[in-house]
Structure 1
């Protein structure tokens, strides 16, 4: 489903015109330029919405009908759940667990530590940059924020641009190490984070 289709869903639900919502949905899907298959959906997570989309677009959106809509609710209902057939919302850990650390660049830990000192004094920026580690407990998750796309595209949108030199990683470094899972493809399977709820639903329905 493309951004305009999502925008039409939003307009039908919340009122206004599809154009009121197009930029938001296009941004969520902008990671398609980083990876051409469904592995790109790293923003299709609550981490993506809370840590990136909301800081970029704000907590609410006012449509052309004058109605104020909660951005988080809109993203969840009109984009994330739609893409996954209303079955689940992925966690960042689902994606990070699909990354094979053995296929990552050598010595990436040392390079990440070197980058860390550039922003360690900025508490807000440090919290954002380290948020994948806080959520997953996996050091290699930091490649999601310590790469050229995040630093030179995402951070300026949020209003943060530290003087980071020697950016040696691109999104390809973690996407190439991420194996494809069926749950990435429009909810064709259930990810680990949703297994317990899925089993409860199955038991209830049987």
Structure 2
């Protein structure tokens, strides 16, 4: 479904109007800009993606009726309407065909933060959160295939939106977040691939495209 329809569904459930919820539903579907095929959902349509939405949008939104609605509840609604159930991230990678250029080992966040400080200046602590965010997906799936979720060009722009355009350093200096993020992906993969280099290797399954319709939800 379109984010507008998800938002109308939220308004039907919780009250208010569709515009109260549109930004959250549009965030889940923004990965369609990378690939206009249902496997784009692998980047955000999972329980871990709902947790990321909570981090970005806060624990709740106040609709135009003054009612507080949990962001987690809205995210789960989106997943159920698109996938029939809220999958965990690792489910998207069942029978994933890994590219030969995936690394056999990865640096940790502290090593990458030190490397960023050496390259761009400042204290390693200024960079640690960014590197930890990229590598958080280690907790989502076993093996190097977890890199499919954030280690690509789309993930670099995600990082910029998540952490602001620049990373502030001591002395009033700053470095563009996107530059640091590109350096991170380059260090881990040896390249900066488009997200589609991963998404096209996901084995399509029926549950991935079983989105409901506005008519079934009583919206039309």
TM range (shorter): 0.7 to 0.9
1:71 is matched with 71
Normalising to structure 2: TM-score of the pair? 0.72
Q: What CA distance in whole angstroms lies between the structure 1 residues aligned with 2:192 and 2:35? A: 18
Q: Is the 8 A contact 1:93 1:135 kept in 2?
A: yes
Q: Where does the alignment leave 5 or more consecutive residues of structure 1 unmatched?
A: 189-206
1:148 is matched with 153
Task: Quote how far apart the aligned CAs of 1:111 are.
Answer: 9.3
Q: What CA distance in whole angstroms lies between the structure 1 residues aligned with 2:87 and 2:141? A: 13
- 3-state SS in 2 of match to 1:109: coil
The partner residue of 2:192 within 156, 164, 168 is 168
Normalising to structure 1: TM-score of the pair? 0.76
Q: 1:98 to 1:33 in 2, by over 3 A?
A: farther
Q: Is the 8 A contact 1:56 1:157 kept in 2?
A: no
Q: Is the 8 A contact 2:104 2:144 kept in 1?
A: no
Q: What CA distance in whole angstroms lies between the structure 2 residues aligned with 1:93 and 1:11? A: 31
1:109 is matched with 103
Q: What CA distance in whole angstroms lies between the structure 2 residues aligned with 1:135 and 1:48? A: 10
Q: What CA distance in whole angstroms lies between the structure 1 residues aligned with 2:100 and 2:149? A: 13
Q: Where does the alignment leave 5 or more consecutive residues of structure 2 unmatched?
A: 115-123, 165-176, 213-220
2:14 is matched with 14
Matches within 5 A, 1:131-146: 131-146=136-151
Matches within 5 A, 1:50-129: 50=51, 52-77=52-77, 79-85=78-84, 88-101=85-98, 104-106=99-101, 108-109=102-103, 113=107, 117-119=111-113, 122-129=127-134
Task: Quote how far apart the aligned CAs of 1:174 are.
Answer: 0.4
Q: What CA distance in whole angstroms lies between the structure 1 residues aligned with 2:208 and 2:110? A: 31
2:2 is matched with 2
Q: How many residues align?
A: 180
The 4+ residue runs of structure 1 with deviation greater than 3 A are 110-127
Task: Quote how far apart the aligned CAs of 1:133 are.
Answer: 1.7
Q: What CA distance in whole angstroms lies between the structure 1 residues aligned with 2:56 and 2:37? A: 24
Q: What CA distance in whole angstroms lies between the structure 2 residues aligned with 1:73 and 1:98? A: 30
Q: 1:183 to 1:159 in 2, by over 3 A?
A: same
Q: Is the 8 A contact 1:49 1:75 kept in 2?
A: yes
